[in-house]
Chain A
Amino acid sequence: EVQLVQSGAEVKKPGESLKISCKGSGYSFTSYWIGWVRQMPGKGLEWMGIIYPGDSDTRYSPPFQGQVTISADKSISTAYLQWSSLKASDTALYFCVRRGDGYNDFFDSWGQGTLVTVSS
């Protein structure tokens, strides 16, 4: 069974750094793109970016380029989303997702979500 398990909720202050994780299991982690999706409180889904753990090829949605860093450690089947300086507007629920293989450009598996709260 394919599973994406994310790290737990975080409460941070503005200006602090943060790295959240997403561990994949039940499939070949290096063979599928892993993406991140943001959901701000009471709002819709926004695609942030995606990484191919096999070679670390990474793409970002324009609004998130330079704002976050996506990485992966294939030795432990884990993808990461990190911020160097959080803002209150980063408060949101973050999901990691697995993209289908080949031309299947949909997200067939979702993590449970990590709630990030940024408040002074």
Chain B
Amino acid sequence: QSVLTQPPSVSGAPGQRVTISCTGSSSNIGAGYDVHWYQQLSGTAPKLLIYGNSNRPSGVPDRFSGSKSGTSASLAITGLQAEDEADYYCQSYDSSLSGYVFGTGTKVTVL
């Protein structure tokens, strides 16, 4: 069902920068709908990480940043830390489906 495509996994050493892409289409990201990002630590519920393409909720470190261009969006984590090891999901709205859609998910591994 996922119409937003993410890489299955990315990895990096502590302190490095990693990016996660989220590729959509003209009925979701390309239509101008915002992209949001969630972090799911192992065994816990997802948590809102980035909203409205690039905004951080209170309490989210500024190591996390988001951007959007055309039919894609990206999440960047700079200064990677061990506690960033988690699954990350993008989310948007799709006008063809008349509903919300999540990305396929990306597992971030800290080496």
Contacts and interface: CB of A to CB of B under 8 A. Distances in A.
A120 interface: no
Given A45-B46, A46-B1, A112-B45, A107 B104 contact: no
Contact of B100 (A104, A105, A113): A105
B30 to A, nearest CB: 16
A106 B45 contact: no
A41 interface: no
A107 B48 contact: yes
Q: Is the interface of A mostly helix, strand, loop or mixed?
A: strand
A63 interface: yes
A100 B51 CA distance: 10
Interface residues of A, number: 24
A46 B34 CA distance: 18
Given A44-B2, A105-B33, A95 B45 contact: yes
A108 interface: yes
Contact of A47 (B33, B102, B105): B102
A61 B97 contact: yes
Contact of B1 (A61, A100, A104): A61
B70 interface: no
B1 A108 contact: no
B64 interface: no
B99 interface: yes
A50 B93 CA distance: 13
14 contacts: A35-B100, A44-B89, A44-B102, A46-B2, A47-B102, A59-B98, A59-B99, A61-B97, A105-B34, A105-B93, A106-B91, A108-B48, A110-B46, A112-B45
Interface of A: 35, 37, 44-47, 49-50, 59-63, 95, 100, 104-108, 110-113
